[in-house]
Amino acid sequence: MSTLTVSLVQYDIAWLAPEDNFTTIERLTSDLVQCDLLLLPETFATGFALKEETAPFANDALAFMQRLAKRHQCIVAGSVLVPEGDKKANRFYWCWPATEGADIARVEYYDKRHLFCLGNEGRYVVEGTQRKVIEIGEFKILPQVCYDLRFPVFQRNRNDYDVMVNVANWPAARRYAWDTLLRARAIENQCYVLAGNRLGDDGYGIAHNGGTVAIDYLGQPISQVPDDQMGVITVTLSKPPLDAFRSQFPAHLDADHFQLVP
C-alpha cells in the first residue's frame, strides 16, 4: 500500500459527556468516504479532564472506537484518559477493525510522554516511557500527543518513520506555536505531519479554535479544517514522492547521534 488515506475530525468536545461526543463524531463521519485511518482529537470522549474522575468512561471510549473501526472498516485512533495505578495515563489508542472470525480486534497504544508542568499534569497523569512506531501498509507512523510537539529530540526521525501524528487539546492562546512547530517537525524530519485539535472552551474555561491540518514533508499544508468550525478533512498521502525527496536530499545522514534516556 503506497498510499494512505486519512480522515481527521475537529469538533467541540463536550465536557465529561462521552455519549454526546460519540453522537457528534458519528454525525460528522456519517458520510465518510473510505479511508485507512480515522483520527480523533486528544481525550475525544471527555475533554482534558485532569482532576475529574474519568475511569468510568475509559472502557466506553475504547468500545466506541472499536465500533467505529468496524463500521468504517478502517483504523480509528484517538486518546483516552485511562486508570493507571493511582493516576491516569493519556493513552493514544489505535484500533483495527475486527477481521472475519476474530474474537478480538487488534489494538495498539502510545502513552503521552511529555507532561505539562505548568498545568500540574504530572500530578494526575503518569509519564509514558516508550517511543512507538506503528505500521500501516508501507507507512511507518510516529504517534504523539499534544505537548509532545515541543520536544524535537524525542521526535527526531532516525529514518524510522514516514508520518508523524499529533492529536491535541492545544489552546487558542498558543495557537501560533502549534502552527509553527507542526511545520518545523515536517521539515526537519522530512515526513508528513497529521495534526488533530479540538474546538471550544473546556471545563476549565480554556479556549480552543482548531488547527486540524495535514502537512507534507516540505512543510506545506495539504488540507485544513477551517478555524472555529466542526468538520472532517480527508487526505491521501503518497509514499513514492516522499521516498524520492529523501533520496535526493538525505539530510538524515548528517544528523547528530544521540541516545534517549527514559
Q: Which residues are catalytic?
A: 42, 112, 146
Dist CA 78 CA 44 (whole Å):
7
Residue 238, beta-bridge partner list: 3
DSSP line for the chain: --EEEEEEEE-BPPTT-HHHHHHHHHHHTTTPPP-SEEE--TTTTT-S-SSS--HHHHHHHHHHHHHHHHHHTSEEEEEEEEEETTEEEEEEEEEPPPPTT-SS--EEEEE-----GGGTGGGTBPPP-----EEETTEEEEEEEGGGGG-HHHH---S--SEEEEE----GGGHHHHHHHHHHHHHHHTSEEEEE--EEE-TT--EEE---EEE-TTS-EEEEPPTT--EEEEEEEEHHHHHHHHHHS-GGGGPPP-----
Asked whether the CA dihedral 64, 68, 71, 76 is positive or negative, the reply is negative
